[in-house]
Amino acid sequence: MRRQLVPSMLRARITAVDLRRPDLRRPFPRRFAKRLQSQTVIALDRRAKYIVGSLTSGETLLMHLGMSGSFRVIREQHRGRITGNPTRLDPHDHVIFHMSSGTAVVFNDPRRFGIMELVAAGRLSQHPVLSKLGPEPLSDDFDATALARACHRKKTSLKAALLDQRVVAGLGNIYANEALHVAGLSPRRPASILASASGAPRAAAHRLAAAIKRVLLDAIDRQSKPAYRGGRFLVYDREGQRCSKSGCTGTIRRHVQSGRSTFYCPACQR
């Protein structure tokens, strides 16, 4: 999503912001639209599941999609008129950023679990969520050693550990399921199996760290190729179906862990 927004937002000025409701998961910051107007986005990054926009004012725009949020970019003819849809928007289009690039960046969120906030200059490192995050899964900082260290003597399950943002930042429920399947590890096993008594990574930690990187890179690649989005999951939401792993005759099962659905193959995930 960050990559899709870069052409429209990076180094572009926010000419206006339309708020079509007073809140998402929580109310918008005080004078949100006014504080964003006329600011240029000088950097557009990502940290875990947050899109991080650095502004010329020194403030940082943090945006989280929540459960159902998404952005789309529409070419504008002029302020207040979106090409191809001059009179109405979707009822769930809650925020519209009008950019000097000639586009409207529209945030749609049917369940309204998304978050938008402004962080004061110099305060980003002290943000109550960002300051506690673990390493990025696609960074050089994340490997079998880092994963084993975070899970050493951890009593929780492997699945729960992967959803702990202090262990690895930004990995969600779907790709935790997928990575465990690729690594051949049961989501119900204790996270402590990844590390030896001294905290050194075991073979399972190497397999899982590599699997996490693989499923995320594959997902990003598929997202950039809309024609290939269908049928993209190995186990997620495939309860009762045959395991897709070569040579495996197992059937995908589902059970609930910590309130979240877990999908796995009991035959090849041990």
User: What single letter denotes the amino acid at residue 179?
Assistant: A
Beta strands in 57-126 (DSSP E): 60-64, 70-78, 81-82, 93-99, 103-108, 115-119
User: What single letter denotes the amino acid at residue 40?
Assistant: T
Stretch(es) of the chain classified as CATH 1.10.8.50: 144-234
User: What single letter denotes the amino acid at residue 190?
Assistant: P
pTM, whole model, 2 decimals?
A: 0.86
DSSP bridge partners of 74: 104
Stretch(es) of the chain classified as CATH 3.20.190.10: 2-129
Mean pLDDT across 92-118: 96
Alpha carbon separation from 48 to 65, 72, 172, 176, 238 (Å, rounded)? 11, 20, 10, 14, 26
- For 185-219, the pLDDT digits (tens) are 999 999 999 999 999 999 999 999 999 999 999 99
110 backbone dihedrals φ, ψ, rounded to 5°: -60, -40
Mean pLDDT across 74-89: 61
**Is 2-129 a CATH 3.20.190.10 domain?**
yes
Residue 84: predicted pLDDT: 45
User: What single letter denotes the amino acid at residue 138?
Assistant: L
What is the side-by-side strand order in the sheet with 41-47? 41-47, 50-55, 60-64, 115-119
Residue 199 token pair: 């905290």
* CATH fold of the domain at 144-234: Helicase, Ruva Protein; domain 3 (1.10.8)
Percent of the chain with pLDDT over 70: 93
- For 45-67, the pLDDT digits (tens) are 999 999 999 999 999 999 999 98
